[in-house]
Amino acid sequence: MKTLTIISIFGLTFAFSQYVYEYSHASFNPLNRVKRDFLDSEWTEKLPEDISVEPDSSTNHTYYKMHIYSNRTDLMSQYYIDVKKWLNSSVPGLNGTENHEHLDGAYRKAAGANIGFEFPFYGHEMDNLTVATGGFCYVGDQTHSWLAATQYIAPLMANFDTTAPNSVIMYATNSSRMVITWESVRLRDNPKAGNWTFQVSLFKNGDIWFVYKDIPIPVTLISDNNHPCKLGISDAYLFTHQYGDKAPIQTKKVIHEYHRIVVPPEKVVNNTIIVLEALPTCLQFKTCSDCSSGKLTNFNCSWCAPKQSHIEPFCSDFAGLHRRRQHWVEGDCARTPAPDQCSPRSTTMEPSTEPSVTAPAVDIEEFHQKQTGVETRKSGGFGRILFAVFILFLISACGWIVYAFYNPHTPSGQLLIKYRPSKWQIPSSHVSG
């Protein structure tokens, strides 16, 4: 599996991919990008040594269970939603659009949308996503221009555009379901193939439906020369690596894909339904006791309580394969859970005694401030000592003069008489003629 490498140096961020999307985000935390063509070697071809990607070729997966219903006209009325009719109905609480202006007559564009509820994707709860003209949704926490690489929900990712008549992308959502439809879109490099209509439904319980209404040619014939062709879902985690011995600290952000489910393209024809039934994950447990006692078929769960005060405890699988892997690694959560891990001491976050790995610039600045303070205190202490010595010398000199003045018979008095001011002579400065 490839991993998308993002490099952040001196506040600038670089990424590498050949499939660029222009996006309009809403309520997202964007990663700004600067184009850079000479660092292709930064692509990472493998995952970290301590983990591996599960080969999911069956219908029973670790995170989802797949159900395939090919060419089932009898089920379409149950699974396919007419978004226009839904939006124009009297159902309360509906939100959405029949034609997003950023996606209208567009190619390689994407727009942010609010899901309307907390949607658990691989157990990670999210409330926003990015809808792309290319037949997929990007579901990463941070948006960027390379949306097709990973962290996607793709009923049919391909080189689609919405420039044809009646071609539209629309979506609607309520408190428990979101439906996104690509209607009458065409392949940009094969428009004669015809119109494609399909949709994806997301549910509050984590289930995902892919529903295919019009598939004019076999999906296996779609070219991926100009755009990836993918069917399925994928998730990844973002990990920030530090390198360099001198300030400012340099970081490299790598997106590691830890799981992918591929829908068999030969199964996708007209009137096909793919149901991805969400399975329980450790992230669903919110307390230590629930996490430790939870019995899941595919996971062994343990409570991760990092000592850093800014990191909230969470429930994790033993492998730490989820979007909070950075916290899992930095919190040393790979260790064997202690028998008393759910005691008040272990479930209460303790202030960190070490600088945070995730904020190197702040730590360096604090270090310099501390060093400057130490130097200031050192120089200030030396000045006070010197001043005290001078005052002590002055007092001693005055005391000696007073003693010698009132005791002329003493050696000190004789010395003062011998060198009294009246005996001082200024050397003559005139010149004889």
Distance of CA 398 to the CA centre of its chain: 72
- What is the pLDDT, as a whole number, of residue 358? 30
Both structure tokens of 104: 């209208």
Is residue 120 within 8 Å of 280, Cβ to Cβ? Answer: no
Mean pLDDT over each residue of the chain, to the nearest integer? 78
Note the pLDDT of residue 22.
Answer: 64
Residues 6+ apart with CB under 8 A from 109: 21, 22, 23, 24, 102, 103, 132, 133
What is the rounded CA–CA span in Å between residue 153 and residue 139? Answer: 7
Q: What is the pLDDT of residue 409?
A: 76
Distance CA 66, CA 276 (A): 5
pLDDT < 50 positions in the chain: 1-3, 5-19, 25-57, 345-379, 428-433
Rounded Cα distance, 366 and 195, in Å: 60
Q: What tens digit of pLDDT does each residue of 238-254 get?
A: 888 887 777 777 888 88
- The Cα–Cα gap between 311 and 304 comes to 10
Quote the CA–CA distance of 339 and 302 in Å, as a whole number.
11
- Cα dist from 311 to 30, 38, 124, 333, 419, whole Å: 22, 37, 16, 13, 78
CB atoms within 10 A of CB 382: 10
**Complete DSSP assignment for 321-367:** -STTHHHHHHTTTTSPPPTTTTSHHHHSPPPPSS--TT-HHHHHHHH
Give the pLDDT of residue 242: 82
pLDDT at 142: 75
Which helix (H) or strand (E) element contains residue 136? strand 136-138
Domain boundary assignment for the chain: 60-279, 283-335
